[in-house]
Structure 1
Amino acid sequence: MAPRYDAVVVGAGFGGIGAAIQLDRLGLGDYVVLEREDDLGGTWHVNHYPGLAVDIASVTYSYSFEPNPHWSRLFAPGAELKKYAEHVADKYDLRRRMRFGTEVRGARWDDNEQQWEVSLADGEVLTSRYLLAATGFLSQPYTPPFPGIDTFEGKIIHTTAWEDDFDVTGRKAAIIGTGATAVQLVPELAERAEALTVFQRTPIWVVPKVDAPIPAAVRTLFERVPATQQVARMVNTTMLEALMVIGVLHFKQAKPLNRAAGLLAKAHLRTSVRDKRTRRELTPHYDFGCKRPTFSNAYFRAFNRSNVRLETSSIERITPRGIVTADGTETEIDTLVLATGFNLWDVNFPAIEIIGRDGTDLGKFWRDNRFQAYEGITVPKFPNFLSLNSPYSYSGLSYFTTIEAQMKHMGRLFGELVRRGETTFEVTERANTEFLDRVTDKLGSSVFYGGDCSTARSYYFNQHGEAALLRPNSTVSTYRHAVSFPLDDYRYGATSIPEVPSA
């Protein structure tokens, strides 16, 4: 029985959009993109809290093949990222292949028919030759199980479910969390709330944000001479590479650069916050890069306001009218803002149940046998499956580096399928093991294993203490691998044939 679709793509964020564009380029135009939300854009559709902006310069946080000369600022606000996603989808005619409000419950490989069966929440089952999971790294919001949270009588709002008409003016608010989202949101809340208490479990490294409006003349230049924007992209990418690849991934060889980044952040803190005790509490006690750093010129200064207080005692329970910390102090509030991030390793890898060859459950496979994916995109025992947000796939600091590397990998892999006249592929155990050994060895030089990350509580680390998210390569190296990986790292044709061990 022929499958209904060439491919099913799960997720209509930037990863899914990139995958769809590449499927069209490869001649696999009979596909469907399934999205649980009511529109495309992924995180830039779901998130619209005050102060939302990209934390990577816009010229880099975008597709290299689809530059946008109209960014209003160096770090564009979230609404412009959403608009950019809509522009790309419309230009490449993707909307007609998208189904919104469609929740995927799971997918199972049918070895007899050599196809995927994708089950939807409404009971419908779709069949496809290929399955592409583009559910993103930050798609499963997390709310810690604080005792008593169900008894709170005030307003509770999670940053991923922000209500545009919600006004914090005059309220006694608390925000739990001090990650990248809180860094953007705290200054906005501080401007309006009568009182704001920031509950911090782990301080975050914050460096100055070199942000400014992009003059109309520059935007016009980018539009008329695209090469100028390409140069700007190259310069910014090079700076990010120095920060991430050298200072973080090559920590052992480049400790001075990592230390310099930490000193810059500490100097930024010292010149921004007046109170000595607050500065001390906002200072991380782990090496720069253990937890994703962020950029802001307003976060630290918010703590100089008389209506803002930093609370570092752990939360014991939530009462109907406030929050009680471990020292017995109760902070009375009427509004609780949850900037508690996302659950990557328990429910996001993978975000849906995926059953491969021989009944192998992907989530169980990863947890029993280490989180792993060959070149950050394919997994043994999962034929015709591409995981676009996988362990060891995130390269550099811009998500678009990862997306475009995976698009290139798809191009090489499917090109070989066509050359062989086959329709089925599966990465070999040998190739997957060799890749896992290489990245594990390379990460031994990173700050994650060579530095002090004991107090970071970073989402880079999984529940086994492995830093299994980032790929230890430069952007150039990642792209080179994507177009030159050995073609015999895959088996082609019927997947029921067992792999022949190498001599």
Structure 2
Amino acid sequence: METVESLSIAIIGTGFGGLAAAIGLKTRGFHDIVILEKADDVGGVWRENTYPGAACDVPSPFYSYSFEPNPRWPHRFSRQPAILDYIRTVADKYDVSRHIRFGTEVLGLTYDAATGKWTVALSTGAPLVVDVLVSAVGQLSRPAFADIPGRNLFTGESFHSAQWDHDVDLTGKRVAVIGTGASSIQFVPQIQQQVAELVLFQRSAPYVIPRFDREFSPRHHRVFETVPATELAERATWYGVVEGLSIAWVYSKPLSRVLKRLSKWHMRRQTKSKPGLFEKVWPDYPIGCKRILFSNDYLPALAQPNVDVVTERIREITPGGIVAEDGHVHNVDVIVWGTGFKATEFLEPMSIKRADGRRLTDEWSGGAHAYYGMTVPGFPNLLNMYGPNTNTGGGSIIYFLESQAAYLADYVTHIAATGTPLQVRPDVERSYDERVQQELRGSVWSQCTSWYRQADGRITTNWPWLGVQYRRQAKFRPSDYESVSVTGRLPELR
């Protein structure tokens, strides 16, 4: 029988999900843990995304672990350096850092029925063999580029916002930005002030509402430190606000209409100095279909004389610039891709094979699916953090990750007690997925094209209800699972 001491666990990734998983397991007494990280530092997306103005669009008192409040956040909506510092601090404080192998990329995973273990192929050489495998690579780790003819012909500088090239000086340059998502609305105001010309290619306009940010002064920090209840109140307040967004999309059309009116007032007010701009940036789809964006400086930046918003689709990219569908040629020196991530391509490009050789990509050929986003039939002892249908359209993903870490700890505790691997029952997972997809087909997210959806319309990213409902429902129940026989040993009789 496996024990807490002998059970070996590998976690892939050191972002918020990987740390939550490791801390949850260590709290239960599991310490034979190795965390595999291809980079040379912790942080996940907060290590990778260093573009100008990078910040979180969820207030930091809520976008942080409930067990590790930070009374010294510099801003309500913290910037990337502060968030990365927080992640580093948590990794050290909770004794996670010693488990991490940096510079180690996972190439593939194979389950062995004879041993009941996973073999992990690594970029560093010798494979790793473990009892339990936890993927915490997330949904937003692989940059996506629009499929535009001629993309590789451009002779100027070109890079994705998630791979920002800080060696490129944009001062006085003609810069094209492709995409108007969450990253673009943060870096566009920063670079607009230094470039000679900025051409923003907008395929679909986002709804923008005010960002109620503020700098936390030393006085705030003292109050948060000496009266922790004040920080808890700040967290609870913002939990209510961001969960209210989910309520608007899922349950309350009147609240949704209020938010739309707020967005229209804000966007019209911030574009009035430039005739015709509001008509370009006002969305033509239901509010909530794409994630609402918080900004006070994005629209004023678009209203500046050196900015042109182009709503024509891009026909092609040439060595010297971009050609729009109307034939207009935009000659530019630099192209910045603000085109998001391959959110629906879960766990790729890793090759993940179950005992009979079937790959997870084959299992997910019609779209990724997993029981509460965590377990897949036929893949014993493989769990996901921030897996399929666990994204939130309005809240904090860390709230979901803490729920998943608790689920993971219960799962691993159970297999340590029973001594046999577990896989989710196919009928249980199928029924769950049908219920989730049925709800999503009638949701606001089905009414436009976004990174939430696959090309065929299936929504594989979002949780269709409230965050609190996920927390209440996503509980490990042994009856949802079945033990997997291990041919190389007999299960212990109990």
Name the CA distance, whole Å, in 2 between partners of 1:38 and 1:142.
23
Q: Does 1:50 align with 2:52?
A: yes
Give the TM-score of the pair, scaled to structure 2: 0.93
Q: Does 1:341 align with 2:332?
A: no
| CA offset digits 1:463-496 (Å, max 9, x no partner) | 320222112232322222234x532001235267
Give the TM-score of the pair, scaled to structure 1: 0.92
| CA offset digits 1:184-207 (Å, max 9, x no partner) | 011011111011110111111111
State the match for 1:470 in structure 2.
462
**1:441 shift after superposition:** 3.4
State the match for 1:325 in structure 2.
324
Q: Does 1:134 align with 2:132?
A: no
Moved over 6 A (4+): 2-5
Q: Which amino acid aligns with 1:482?
A: A
Q: 1:382 is paired with a residue of what secondary structure?
A: coil
Name the CA distance, whole Å, in 2 between partners of 1:284 and 1:496.
58
**1:394 shift after superposition:** 2.2
State the match for 2:313 in structure 1.
314
State the match for 2:302 in structure 1.
303
Q: Greater shift after overlay, 462-471 or 88-97? A: 462-471
Percent same amino acid among aligned pairs?
A: 36
Q: Which amino acid aligns with 1:494?
A: S
| CA offset digits 1:197-241 (Å, max 9, x no partner) | 101111111111001111222211212222221121111111111
Q: Does 1:429 align with 2:420?
A: no
Q: Does 1:492 align with 2:453?
A: no
Q: 2:336 is paired with a residue of what secondary structure?
A: strand
Map 1:243-262 onto structure 2 (within 5 A): 243-244=245-246, 246-250=247-251, 254-262=252-260
State the match for 1:401 in structure 2.
399
Q: Which amino acid aligns with 1:361?
A: R
* 2:115 and 2:487 in contact (8 A); partners too: no
Q: Which amino acid aligns with 1:386?
A: L
Map 1:234-273 onto structure 2 (within 5 A): 234-244=236-246, 246-250=247-251, 254-273=252-271
| CA offset digits 1:255-298 (Å, max 9, x no partner) | 12112212211111100002342211101111111111110000
* 1:70 and 1:219 in contact (8 A); partners too: yes
State the match for 2:354 in structure 1.
356
State the match for 1:164 in structure 2.
166
Distance 1:441 1:148, change over 3 A: closer
Q: 2:356 is paired with a residue of what secondary structure?
A: helix
Name the CA distance, whole Å, in 2 between partners of 1:231 and 1:423.
44
* 1:292 and 1:458 in contact (8 A); partners too: no
Greater relative contact order, per chain length (Cα 8 Å cut-off, separation 6+): 2
Report how many aligned residue pairs link the two structures. 484
**1:38 shift after superposition:** 1.8
Q: Which amino acid aligns with 1:341?
A: G
State the match for 2:110 in structure 1.
108
State the match for 1:288 in structure 2.
287
State the match for 1:83 in structure 2.
85
Q: 1:179 is paired with a residue of what secondary structure?
A: coil
* 1:323 and 1:330 in contact (8 A); partners too: yes
State the match for 2:374 in structure 1.
377
State the match for 1:93 in structure 2.
95
State the match for 1:500 in structure 2.
none
Name the CA distance, whole Å, in 2 between partners of 1:493 and 1:442.
32
Query: What runs of 5+ residues in structure 1 fail to find an aligned partner?
Result: 498-503
Distance 1:131 1:284, change over 3 A: same
State the match for 1:177 in structure 2.
179
* 1:170 and 1:194 in contact (8 A); partners too: yes
State the match for 2:17 in structure 1.
15
**1:149 shift after superposition:** 2.7
Query: What runs of 5+ residues in structure 2 fail to find an aligned partner?
Result: 489-494
Distance 1:84 1:124, change over 3 A: same
Distance 1:288 1:477, change over 3 A: same
Q: 1:391 is paired with a residue of what secondary structure?
A: coil
**1:337 shift after superposition:** 1.0
Q: Which amino acid aligns with 1:312?
A: T
After superposition, the CA RMSD in angstroms is 2.1
* 1:4 and 1:128 in contact (8 A); partners too: no
Name the CA distance, whole Å, in 1 between partners of 2:483 and 2:250.
34
Q: Greater shift after overlay, 164-173 or 233-242? A: 164-173
Q: 1:180 is paired with a residue of what secondary structure?
A: coil
Distance 1:493 1:367, change over 3 A: closer
State the match for 2:471 in structure 1.
479
* 1:21 and 1:92 in contact (8 A); partners too: yes
Q: Which amino acid aligns with 1:13?
A: G
* 2:204 and 2:283 in contact (8 A); partners too: yes
State the match for 1:440 in structure 2.
437
| CA offset digits 1:138-190 (Å, max 9, x no partner) | 11111224322323222112211213343311111111110000000110111
Name the CA distance, whole Å, in 2 between partners of 1:234 and 1:359.
47
* 2:346 and 2:368 in contact (8 A); partners too: no
Distance 1:416 1:478, change over 3 A: same
